[in-house]
Amino acid sequence: MTRADRWLLPEGVEELLPPQAQKLETLRREILDLYRSWGYEFVMTPLIEYLDSLLVGSSHDLDLHTFKLTDQLSGRMMGLRADITPQVARIDARNLHRSGPVRLCYADSVVHTRPQGLLTSRVPIRIGAELFGHQSVACDIELIALMARTLQVAEAGPIHIVLGHVGIFRSLVAAAGLSKELETELFDAMQRKAYNDIDEWIGAQIANPNHAQMLRTLARLSGGRAVLDQAREALAHAPPQVREALEEVVSIAGALEQRLDPSITVGFDLSELRGYEYHTGIVFAAYTPQYGKAIARGGRYDDIGQ
């Protein structure tokens, strides 16, 4: 084995040289200072934890992305964190015991078993903010506005924000009486935006024509502001929880029009279900023309740290 082979880094693992490292650290400091000015307190979470604690309340995808090993002291299974949000949620739920809103932020590396996209790192740096103790549209608006401001500080370029609400899909599935197994099958097709597969699956599995049509329509409710009017019409006879969730999206969209920089555009994807396992309400993501995938995302969740 040559010296070059011995020094070869694993695929998806990289090091930063002085110019890039300094630039990244400067940006990290600017963003954390921004969060502090908004009232968010900085926390640091452990890189490695017992697996049953690390994955509590998390998704199957997170389990697959987590490196696992045996603790040489206790014999218990441990994992390298693949996400920081559940850890921060646990800090709020178990350690702080505060009443009222709690604002926390973080910036650190995570480790993934596989890259989450083409040419992406397996040791990415995650920076973010979490707001606990207050479930409201106002909190959703605050976090979306903070995400937008973060990307402006990072000079990410033109920003396009997409809003969704997992409560719409969840309530329609419950109304249709789908089992957990069938719900998972439909969820998978929705995630892939496989419209033909969705239509065929719904035709085979859902007998009620009203429930079937609403789910077919939901899969296609993405685009500009006109989508909200289409959704109101298509889901007019949906369960009350569906209509309430839709009105939350409408309310947030209206507030963002007033609050965000005019250069930031807002769109909608009401069948966006990323983080479905623990998100309970509004979900959002930010895109720029330079990247095909979201560069920032978030959403409302309950009890993930319990």
pLDDT of res. 33: 98
Tell whether 196 and 254 lie within a shared domain: yes
Q: What percent of the chain has pLDDT over 90?
A: 75
Tell whether 126 and 187 lie within a shared domain: no
Q: How many structural domains comprise the chain?
A: 2
The reply to whether 150 falls in a domain is no
Model pLDDT for residues 180-230, shown as the tens digit of each residue: 899 989 988 998 888 999 999 999 999 999 999 999 999 999 999 999 999
- Whether residue 60 has pLDDT greater than 80: no
The reply to whether 291 falls in a domain is yes
CATH code where residue 88 lies: 3.30.930.10
Model pLDDT for residues 23-42, shown as the tens digit of each residue: 999 999 999 999 999 999 99
Tell whether 184 and 253 lie within a shared domain: yes
The reply to whether 109 falls in a domain is yes
pLDDT of res. 232: 96
The reply to whether 156 falls in a domain is no
pLDDT of res. 116: 82
Tell whether 117 and 64 lie within a shared domain: yes
Tell whether 170 and 124 lie within a shared domain: no
Split at pLDDT 50, 70, 90, the class of 102 is very high
The reply to whether 23 falls in a domain is yes
C-alpha dihedral (198, 201, 203, 209), degrees to nearest 10: -70
- Whether residue 119 has pLDDT greater than 80: no
pTM higher than 0.85, yes or no?
A: yes
Tell whether 234 and 117 lie within a shared domain: no
Model pLDDT for residues 142-180, shown as the tens digit of each residue: 999 999 999 999 999 999 999 999 999 999 999 999 998
**The domain containing residue 81 runs over which residues?**
3-134
pLDDT of res. 291: 86
Q: Taking residues 246-256, report their average pLDDT.
A: 97
Tell whether 90 and 197 lie within a shared domain: no
Which comes out higher in pLDDT, residue 2 or 148? Answer: 148
Tell whether 41 and 118 lie within a shared domain: yes
Split at pLDDT 50, 70, 90, the class of 57 is low
pLDDT of res. 113: 95
pLDDT of res. 59: 67
- Whether residue 303 has pLDDT greater than 70: no
